[in-house]
Structure 1
């Protein structure tokens, strides 16, 4: 099992909370807060680009 270090949840309006995590091999993870056993994984760069786009309002419907 991968040792994932989860950050504090990031919550938008309503119930749209998610968490980001990383492991020692440079992989990044994203999940809905409270469901850390079910996550998506990709490179840090790919998930960083996703989060930056969300914060820039390009994909706010995902939250």
Structure 2
């Protein structure tokens, strides 16, 4: 796996903290902070859509 550049963790109130990352090929990753060795991967657009939906309250139960 290419080296992943991780962003600062996003933490919801009373919930786990998640981190987003990208590799040199533009692949996007998401992981629970502290468990970056086992990230989920998908397209950047899929992850962006999921996060925007969560922030918009469409899926707040995920956080």
User: Does TM, normalized by the shorter one, top 0.5?
Assistant: yes
Report the CA distance between 1:16 and its aligned residue: 1.9
1:30-41 superposed matches below 5 A = 30-41=30-41
| Number of residue-to-residue matches in the alignment | 63
Uncovered stretches (5+) of structure 2, i.e. residues with no partner: none
RMSD: 0.8
**Which 4+ runs in 1 deviate beyond 3 A?**
none
Who is 1:56 aligned against? Answer: 56
Uncovered stretches (5+) of structure 1, i.e. residues with no partner: none
Q: TM-score normalized by structure 2?
A: 0.94
Matched, 1:24 2:24: yes
